[in-house]
Amino acid sequence: MDSLTVSSRHYRRGTVIRPEHGPTGDIYVVVSGWLFCSALLEDGRRQIVRLYFRGDLLGLDSLAFAEAPDAVSALTDADVCLIDRAKLGTLFAEHPRLGALLFAVQQVDRVTLTDRLTSLGRNSARGRVAALLLWIASRLRFADLPIDEGFALPLTQEEIGDLTGLTAVHVNRTMRVLGEQGLIRRSGNMLTILQPERLARIANYNQRREAIEQTWLPAGR
């Protein structure tokens, strides 16, 4: 995988890396920090569709579209490594096992989006926020980042609202209720999930396996 990268870049929080409807841009992997993709409605409201963490691959939609379907921005200061498109194509031919694994990772992303769509469409405000917090914790754990003693949550109330379809006021009220019920604890930008099982019931959260099924992968070369 290291041989696929051609350079690295650093982005400051708030930087729009790829504008919506603009050129699709580069393919890159997140080295550190948080990024997100979003879309704007005609009235100016924003929907944050997905968060990206260390190890996530972005920009593969550029292989299928000439125009960016959404915007990609830096939620925190972030470092990424750019991937050479030609080398990525060669990888599928010369390393089919690794290519199949990348395909599997994209299926994880697809299922994640399905889960989020279900949450946004059917959950209460409390359930939406609970599902978001559990998903973030799961993704950080998947990236081998420590979360048991809490984790930094660099999202503003407005950004949480853009992720859950709620107003900032509603997010503030919901987070306060979750804290009063002993489900989470907040200290500054640090958040600790105290009762994950209860939180999962409130969220109707489907805890996916944190490992990719590999029995079907082709043999490595």
Q: Are residues 17 and 66 in the same domain?
A: yes
Question: Which of 109, 98, 133, 111 is closest to 59 using CA atoms?
Answer: 109
Quote the tokens at residue 202: 């409130």
Confidence band, pLDDT 50/70/90 cuts, at residue 209: low
Phi, psi of 47 (to 5 degrees): -115, 115
So what's the pLDDT on residue 210? 65
Q: Which positions ≥6 away from 153 have C-beta within 8 Å? A: 133, 136, 186, 189, 190, 191
Question: Which of 154, 16, 17 is closest to 82 using CA atoms?
Answer: 17
So what's the pLDDT on residue 61? 83
Q: Are residues 121 and 195 in the same domain?
A: yes
Confidence band, pLDDT 50/70/90 cuts, at residue 194: very high
Confidence band, pLDDT 50/70/90 cuts, at residue 35: very high
So what's the pLDDT on residue 203? 95
Structure-model confidence comparison of residues 66 and 11, the more confident one: 11
Q: Are residues 56 and 136 in the same domain?
A: no
Structure-model confidence comparison of residues 142 and 49, the more confident one: 49
C-alpha–C-alpha distance, residues 203 and 18, integer Å = 32
DSSP 61: G
DSSP states of 13-34 as a string? TT-EEE-TTSB---EEEEEES-
Structural domain for 20, as ranges: 2-86
In a domain, 91, yes or no: no
Give the domain CATH number at 169: 1.10.10.10
In a domain, 220, yes or no: no
Confidence band, pLDDT 50/70/90 cuts, at residue 191: very high
